[in-house]
Amino acid sequence: MRVMEIETGRRVDLEVTDGRFSAVVEAGPAGAAGDAGGWVLPGLVDVHNHLSLASPAGDRAEPGERVRASASLELALGVLALREPGSPDDASAALAGEPGWPRVITAGRFLAPPGGYFPGLAREVDEAGLAGAAEQEAARSGGWAKIIGDFLDGQRRFTPNWSAAGLARAVARVHERGGRVAVHAVCPAAVEDAIAAGADSIEHGWAITDDHFAAMRAAGTAWVPTLPEGGSNPVCAFGASMGIPADTLEWMRYAVDAQPATAARAHAAGVVVLAGTDAGQGPHGRIIEQAELLAAGGIPPRDAIGAASWTARRYLRLPGIQVGAPADFVRYDRDPADDLDVLRHPAEIVLGGQVRQQSRTRPPAGVRH
């Protein structure tokens, strides 16, 4: 099958044998003779997705049913890999080695001190036990641990959950064992502590500014801004319902509305900016909207797609379109970098060499098994 790679613009011939790419051969530069059968990427990726929460199956369904319902919705959009940075249960781990589902990388349970996160969601530990708990969660999950870096104090203001030294010890312990750590951080002190600790990714990061870019780039710290649709309005409405005071709401509005442009500057400065929906706090199936929000903030459209595809795969240490890799890809009739709405209309979704979905308006693409 001759196609165009969306990332590189290369025209390549793909062959698939036993569910893996058996040949990826460059067929000439763009404009060379020969038709291409569409444009391909190695699947979309949601780097921040909580499958067990806000599932289409409903909150009363069993965890396994909730997770599969969410994953089915994502798969139908062409999401072939996702990271779940924290969960109230372990149901998503069952999908990690199960064929027919997106490649799932889990981070075990959310880790927070008592009262340091939404009730009932986290594994609660004190600071003395944080490093050990983070090591345990990374070891038994997909190699990641998720630490809740800050939450609301008694006055409903954001405050760090841990001392800077305690957070740094936990990150170092996980790194010593070959794992990685995602830190939920929104307020300035929590963001500073997460960067200083060498966290592998900062989730949300409302307080990230240009002053942080050099340190993040040097440490390889990625930023997953989980940009909210509607800007600060839904965030502040939720905050107001939680009793957050007016001055903090004002800061939230400024910080959240500044994020898209700040993310674009971070990307230009060499920080790895990745697309994550925070599905679970909101509905599933919104990764394309994240790519659009990143592009609207100033990230070039092709790079915004990469943040939700090949760049995210490399960051998660997943292979792309290469010989020997699982044959995971999505094919489109047009180049989505010219119009991101094309991402909503895949011509073909292929997972492990098996066609999972195909447009009724196009013939088979000739994938060989």
Q: Provide the pLDDT confidence category of residue 242 given band limits of 50, 70 and 90.
A: very high
> Residue 364: which pLDDT band, with cuts at 50, 70 and 90?
very low
Share of the chain above pLDDT 70, in %: 95
Structural domain that includes position 193: 109-315
Same domain, 116 and 250: yes
Beta bridge partners of 24: 14
For the entire predicted model, the pTM comes to 0.94
**Residue 209: pLDDT above 50?**
yes
pLDDT greater than 90 at residue 37? no
Query: Is pLDDT above 60 for 46?
Result: yes
Q: How many domains does the chain have?
A: 2
Whether residue 91 lies inside any domain: the answer is no
Residues near 237 by beta carbon (within 8 Å), at least 6 away in sequence: none
136 and 255 within one domain: yes
Based on the domain organization, do 166 and 277 belong to the same domain?
Answer: yes
CATH number, domain with residue 265: 3.20.20.140
The pLDDT tens digits of the residues spanning 256-272 come to 999 999 999 999 999 99
Q: Write down the pLDDT at residue 165.
A: 98
Domain assignment present for residue 216? The answer is: yes
Residues 314, 318, 319, 321, Cα dihedral to 10°:
-80
**Domain assignment of residue 78, yes or no:** no
Within-domain flag for 363: no
Same-domain status, 172 and 207: yes
pLDDT value at residue 361: 45
Residue 348: φ, ψ to 5°: -160, 135
pLDDT beyond 50 at 365: no
E strand spans, 191-339 = 201-204, 222-224, 329-332
Q: State the pLDDT confidence band at 28, using cuts at 50, 70 and 90.
A: confident
Contact 230, 267 (CB under 8 A): no
283 within some domain: yes
Tokens of residue 149, six digits: 């870096």
